[in-house]
Amino acid sequence: MGDISFYLRLAWVFTVICWALSMYCRSKPIDKIGGIGQPLPNPLCLVVCILAYVPFSGLRTDSGDTFYYILDFELIEPNGTIDYKFGGGTLYNLLFEIVKETVNDFHYLIMLTAIISLVPVLVVLYKYSHPFDLSVYLFMATGYFGLSMNGIRQYTATGVLMLGTKFLFSTKKTAFIKYAVIVFLAWMIHKSALIMIFVFWFVRRKAWRPSSFLLMFGSIIAVSLFDMILPSFLKGLEETSYSNYSDNGWFTNGEEHGSSAIRVVVSAVPIVIAYFSRARMRQLGHIGDILTNMGFVHMALYVISTYNWIFARFAIYTSVYYIMLLSWVVYNGVQKKDRGLYYAACVGLYYYYSTYQSYAIEMYQSDIFFPGRRFFGG
């Protein structure tokens, strides 16, 4: 990687602290059971994670596309200059305008989006993942935390979608209506969140059905035939927030490449382990089926993204469930005597993988949080 930036080192310091504390808190569980039947660790670890990650993200002045959001904020004058036409993105525009009209300081906008993007994710991982400490580590090592600072609106929408996890996992008849309300709110931040309505119906079925394998097969076929269906796809983009991609040559002139096949392999890891741990996965009941099917959706999106990276943006919505599934199968899907080996292998391999996912944090800058600091000129 070459020299590592001060902020990337600091993010890893925070992660190691949160990870170690979460392991300790797992040994001191509270008298409550989590969403998948696991004993909940002492909530101190959750509080510390929030206090570490949210200010780190919220005090930035650059990372990924943060600069462009700040530029938009600075260029738009107050007093009703933002389009309030009802539809996808309206809620984000409203948040934008409230900050502009009240404090007129972009720092508040970045901090608010960091809170919405990260707090629900960490709370959901605390309630529904086991062990939470491994999920905290993967939150950083899979690139989720770093990439959450690149694509502000979509990660903010993901934070809202996490509020619907309870309904996604629920067996009640009213679950879909409640989940649809959450998706609607997320859609009002980023239009692409609407895909989760279709995901809801796909994942709420028994795992390992032919439909899951057909999804994988279909994603491979879609990549191989994409040049044939490209005109129809571009026409569909014209009415979405990705409309600018339909006429700028990114698809048609080969100016943008697909995601690395490494991401496809990485996305397949929990599916492979879960397959060989099917008997143990039954401990999770229908939630195990949902997480497994979500893993298939996550992998299929990355398969399609090998054609063009833009499709990987849809996998943002399934990434938290990927972390849940991976944490569970690595720790609970194997025999107790093998847990340490699998856990250590997961930590080591995903740290190596993280070196390909750290570019957003390497771009990090802040005028408040250790402004301008770098180690070794990174």
Picking from 326, 320, 323, the residue whose alpha carbon sits closest to that of residue 274 is 326
Is there a domain that residue 187 lies in?
yes
pLDDT reported for residue 6: 86
Q: Which residue type occupies 315?
A: A
Q: Is residue 279 exposed (0-12), middle (13-18) or buried (19+ Cβ within 10 Å)?
A: exposed
Residue 252 belongs to a domain: yes
What pLDDT was estimated at residue 14? 97
Q: Identify the pLDDT of residue 377.
A: 43
Cβ neighbours of residue 134 under 8 Å, at least 6 residues apart? 327, 330, 331, 343, 346, 347
CA atoms within 13 Å, Cβ hemisphere of 3:
9
**Is 197 in a helix, a strand, or coil?**
helix
The token pair at 219 is 């994603």
Helix (H, G, I), strand (E, B) or coil at 39: strand
Domain total in the chain? 1
Q: Domain of 341?
A: 6-362
Question: Residue 197 domain-assigned?
Answer: yes
pLDDT at 73: 87
pLDDT value at residue 309: 81
Pinpoint the alpha helices (H) of 188-260.
Answer: 195-203, 210-224, 226-237
The CB density around residue 262, as the number of other CB atoms within 10 Å, is 11
pLDDT number for residue 1:
37
For residue 267, how many other CB atoms are within 10 A of its CB?
A: 26
DSSP letter for 365, please.
B
Q: Using alpha carbons only, how large is the chain's radius of gyration in Å?
A: 21
| pLDDT at site 240 | 59
Query: Strand, coil or helix: what is 371?
Result: coil
* pTM confidence score: 0.90
- pLDDT score recorded for residue 226: 74
Q: CA-CA distance, 117 to 54, in Å (whole number)?
A: 9
Q: Which stretches in the chain have pLDDT values below 50?
A: 1-3, 254, 374-378
Q: Would 377 be classed as within a structural domain? A: no
- State the pLDDT at residue 375: 41
- 371 within some domain: no
Tell which phi-psi region holds residue 143, choosing left (phi > 0), alpha (psi between -120 and 50) or beta. left
DSSP one-letter code for 357:
S
Concatenated DSSP letters of 69-125: HHHHHHHS-TTT-S---SSTTHHHHHHHHHHHHHT--HHHHHHHHHHHHHHHHHHHH
Q: What is the pLDDT, as a whole number, of residue 183?
A: 97
**333 phi and psi angles, rounded to 5 deg:** -85, 5
**pLDDT per position as a tens digit, 256-265:** 567 788 899 9
Q: Tell me the backbone φ, ψ of residue 344, rounded to 5 degrees.
A: -65, -40
Question: Residue 2: what pLDDT?
Answer: 35
pLDDT tens digits, 182-226: 999 999 999 999 999 999 999 999 999 999 999 999 999 988 887
Q: Which helix (H) or strand (E) holds 184?
A: helix 175-187
In a domain, 204, yes or no: yes
Contact 46, 120 (CB under 8 A): no
First to last CA, the chain: 10
